[in-house]
Amino acid sequence: MRLFTTITALRCDLTVRKAQRPDGTVGFVPTLGNLHLGHLSLIRRAKLDNDIVVVSVFVNPLQFGPQEDFKQYPRTLEQDLKRCEETGVDVVFSPAPEILLGSSLLSSPTATPTSTLDLPTRTQVIPPQSMTDRLCGSARPGHFPGVTTIVAKLLNIVRPNRVYFGQKDAQQLAIIRRMVADLDWPVEVIACPIVRETSGLALSSRNRYLSPEQRQQAEALYRSLVRGEQIFNQGILSAAAIKQAVWSELSNVSVLKVDYVELVDPETLKPIQNIEEAGLLAVAAYIGSTRLIDNIVLRNRRPILAIDGPAGAGKSTVTRRLSEALGLMYLDTGAMYRAVTWLAMQSQVALQDEPAIAELVHQCQIDLVPQQDTLQVLINQQDVTEGIRSPEVTANVSTLAAQPAVRQALVKQQQSYGRKGGIVAEGRDIGTYVFPMRN
């Protein structure tokens, strides 16, 4: 593992690594450091998905308000490096603030600009106001522009294929997804589930500010969310009723100063009246001067289950049986790859011409229509159920399946099937829930 503190050295190292593994992918985990098991879960997922894993450790001054804990924020680089090394990280990037922000903006390395809006001489990335003027954004003006400005820089410096964020900071995750989509960044944003203590308390670097008694009191946050979930699981979809249940649980702990209890759309963060597809139930509260957040996603839809593992592990059999047992659609992702191969061959596009294939695949529509015993496969409304099983298609399908643009387009379509009715499928990429198999 190597540690870099300058942009030039990091870029230089990544250029060498990428030259050594031209097809290798880079996974990136941005952090403020003081790494705990929550961070490590992101790193482990990045390791599973990529050839090279980069972690940044940077206490970003721009995301702290003037009254916030920038100066006290725990800086534990040595311990962080040890944890990164043990988890198999390849590169740690830990620049001093002036490296990313310029010394003219910071009179001393620990000075805090009051907010990004006070940086008139620098370009900033400002997320849509509709996503920042609520939830944590109301109490922390300037926080999210501070996050996006630095994450944008880090993405430009590292240029990863995938970047990993915790669901713990659900608002941050939604805003970064929006930024990446709006600015057409060629990076996949991967969300990782919240890691909790057995008591339910979400792991957070700020938990160290809590006394043992306060820690116990803080457990009410998750308890309140579970209460909301119970109401939802009873079939109550009204935001008012669910939030009321959360409030009543929180009010049992008088020392908690609740900042908000909100139910919003997980993607747009707009408040919702009733949960149709999914709702993000989020809380923030102070215990003493420590501000804690937590959330849970309530899904009013059937799940996407993905079975992952090496060839020959029995994925297809398990996938089929599971779909029967659960009454979910069996999504034959292989048939989709075959369908685009068929289309490319019909269109007489050279199969190695990745840009031309990307153009073709991003404009095609594949429909999988369950019949009694089979799955009818349509591409651009043409029935290709039989055509895709030809030896010519079989011989060429792996060429297309290896192309990132093809995978990206098909995963998007696969997820949209899942959103409609719930599916079971093979492949790690598509799943909300991924079940690994071994040989």
Under the criterion CB under 6 A, does residue 41 sit at the interface with ligand AMP? Answer: yes
| Locus of tokens 């309140």 | 224
According to DSSP H, which parts of 295-377 are helical? 315-326, 333-346, 354-362
Per annotation, catalytic residue among 36, 39, 143, 362: 39
| Closest approach of ligand AMP to the CB of residue 169, in Å | 4
Residue 393: which region, alpha, beta or left (left: phi > 0; alpha: psi -120 to 50)?
A: alpha
Under the criterion CB under 6 A, does residue 83 sit at the interface with ligand AMP? Answer: no
Between residues 204 and 319, which has the closer beta carbon with respect to ligand AMP? 204
The set of residues, in sequence order, having a beta carbon less than 8 Å from that of 347 and lying 6+ positions away, is 360
Under the criterion CB under 6 A, does residue 42 sit at the interface with ligand AMP? Answer: yes
Q: Which of residues 164-223 bind ligand AMP (CB under 6 A)?
A: 165-166, 168-169, 192, 194-195, 202-205
| Closest approach of ligand AMP to the CB of residue 202, in Å | 5
What is the x/- site pattern for ligand AMP, positions 127-166, by CB under 6 A? --------------------------------------xx
Q: In this structure, are residues 262 and 286 in contact, taking their beta carbons and an 8 Å threshold?
A: no
Under the criterion CB under 6 A, does residue 306 sit at the interface with ligand AMP? Answer: no
With CB under 6 A as the contact rule, the residue among 4, 27, 31, 55 that binds ligand AMP is: 31
Between residues 204 and 341, which has the closer beta carbon with respect to ligand AMP? 204
Q: In this structure, are residues 375 and 368 in contact, taking their beta carbons and an 8 Å threshold?
A: yes
According to DSSP H, which parts of 7-109 are helical? 7-20, 37-49, 77-87, 97-101
| Closest approach of ligand AMP to the CB of residue 204, in Å | 6
Torsion angles phi and psi, residue 436, rounded to 5: -80, 145
Under the criterion CB under 6 A, does residue 116 sit at the interface with ligand AMP? Answer: no
| Closest approach of ligand AMP to the CB of residue 120, in Å | 26
Q: How many CA atoms lie within 13 A of 421 on its CB side?
A: 12
Burial of 345 (0-12, 13-18, 19+ CB in 10 A): middle
Which of the stretches 1-9, 34-42, 81-89, 129-137 binds ligand AMP when contact is defined by CB under 6 A?
34-42
Helix (H, G, I), strand (E, B) or coil at 350: coil
The set of residues, in sequence order, having a beta carbon less than 8 Å from that of 313 and lying 6+ positions away, is 437, 438, 439
Under the criterion CB under 6 A, does residue 39 sit at the interface with ligand AMP? Answer: yes
State the virtual CA torsion across 283, 288, 291, 295 in degrees, nearest 10: -30
Our answer to whether residue 39 is catalytic in this structure is: yes
| Closest approach of ligand AMP to the CB of residue 171, in Å | 10
| Closest approach of ligand AMP to the CB of residue 82, in Å | 16
What is the x/- site pattern for ligand AMP, positions 231-260, by CB under 6 A? ------------------------------
| Locus of tokens 């010394």 | 103
Cα–Cα nearest to 222, from 284, 141, 142: 284
Under the criterion CB under 6 A, does residue 297 sit at the interface with ligand AMP? Answer: no
Between residues 164 and 417, which has the closer beta carbon with respect to ligand AMP? 164
Q: Which residues are catalytic?
A: 39
Q: Which residues bind ligand AMP (CB under 6 A)?
A: 31-32, 38-39, 41-42, 165-166, 168-169, 192, 194-195, 202-205
